[in-house]
A and B are shown apart, each in its own frame.
Chain A
């Protein structure tokens, strides 16, 4: 599901035309700006485009600073909007602010370095962060015998708890809306809105959404949630976590939403028996979380949010199929994702029946 799963966006609207980044030579235009940011003469090695990201472009930048407080070699990533015409859910400036908040909270993220919102520099906003080593490829990670899965799951639990310590209001994050409704009701309303925008009704999803509405948790706590915290969105090098990525869906929401998304079956990359992200056990993940949050993880609450996760995935798959069918973005992967909806609907039916303790 490379680059497709992280594209849940309420309204994709074409962006006004603007100067496209045409490639590495354009990136090199930032050298003078970079010199002022890093306070020294800089030498820029030819930038390399990194894989992934239909909505954003990521470039690896190797920078040598010759003098001053930052003298030395810097391995960086430049992240800018890609000229895809697809509206992102968050601006680069907002994403940078979230990254800073996470960094400040002690979460292992690529260190945010500098933001540039002056279009004169590159033609669009971008930011720089320190490059972390390793790979984010989920399907390889879940099959890597060199990874101690439970240790990694526990570590990710700790990381998530550190993030969830960030509560509103938080300086710099004023742009994140605080939901008027309890987080679960807010999600139900949002997903119903997505369904209404599609041509055909989906009774199975309506059934699940009604169940989610009726049994929404009473707890209205909101914290800073990652919004797409799952295997595939963090980097691992030699079995160790090096950075949590893809912050564009961050939101004030219920902490269990992140826990449920991480454990949902659709993110186990086929390693169904490892219920925490396809890498480790729930116990290890929850233990890590609890060791930092000092809040006991309620298993039935996570089961609720896993149903929400499957609904989100199904809505996402419908939207992706529609993106292909409407001609907005012709793609075999999007087309096939559209045909995954029935199996997600069956997942939903089985998840809820398990919670209800009833069979078919």
Chain B
């Protein structure tokens, strides 16, 4: 990692601030819409790059709540374990393997995984709140 200041996060933050405070007020119509989209993309990137924002171990722990640890393939990294179990969950759901099983546990697992992604992409959208529609013609 680079140790110069400002670092990547600080640069993104000031870029977004400048966009919102100084550039956007001068834009109208389609340019303004594009500007708002840029601000939105920067906000997601800022949240995602923050240290600890993505906790793969916690995600894996959710999945282990449904599936036993078993014996993971030797040398498997946490990303690989996540992908393997996610693929298994998707396939089990499609085949109906979980139809008669712990429905509440499945829904809780799905909700947790969705909410951890929403915390990055749209933290304003929480359970029970409306989805703001974006753009549109």
Contact = CB atoms under 8 A, between A and B. Distances in A.
B107 A349 contact: yes
A342 B123 CA distance: 11
A136 interface: yes
Contacts of B134: 1, 336, 340
Interface in A248-281: 265-270, 272, 278
B61 interface: no
Contacts of B91: 201, 206
B136 A343 contact: no
Contacts of B117: 342
Given A270-B132, A349-B107, A332 B34 contact: yes
Given A204-B110, A206-B93, A269 B130 contact: no
A137 B127 CA distance: 29
Contacts of B113: 203-204
A2 B135 contact: yes
- Best-buried of A192, A278, A345 by chain B (most CB within 10 Å): A345
| Interface size range on A against B | 35 or more
B136 A201 contact: no
Interface in A263-303: 265-270, 272, 278
A3 interface: yes
7 contacts: A200-B86, A201-B87, A207-B93, A207-B107, A332-B34, A332-B37, A346-B115
Interface in A208-246: 209-210, 214, 232
A203 B114 CA distance: 10
| Interface size range on B against A | 35 or more
Contact of B121 (A206, A272, A342): A342
Given A201-B90, A206-B93, A350-B128, A269 B41 contact: no
B118 A343 contact: yes
Contacts of A339: 44, 121-122
B137 interface: yes
A232 B96 contact: no
B108 A336 contact: no
A209 B135 contact: no
A19 interface: no
A346 B121 contact: no
A270 B133 CA distance: 5
Contacts of B77: none
A332 B38 contact: yes
A318 to B, nearest CB: 13
B131 interface: yes
Interface string B68-88: 000000000000000100110
A138 interface: yes
A167 to B, nearest CB: 31
A82 interface: no
Contact of A345 (B41, B99, B114): B114
A333 interface: yes
A35 to B, nearest CB: 34
Contacts of B86: 200-201, 203
A52 B137 CA distance: 8
A111 interface: no
B133 A139 contact: yes
Nearest to A51: B137
Contacts of B32: none
B77 to A, nearest CB: 16
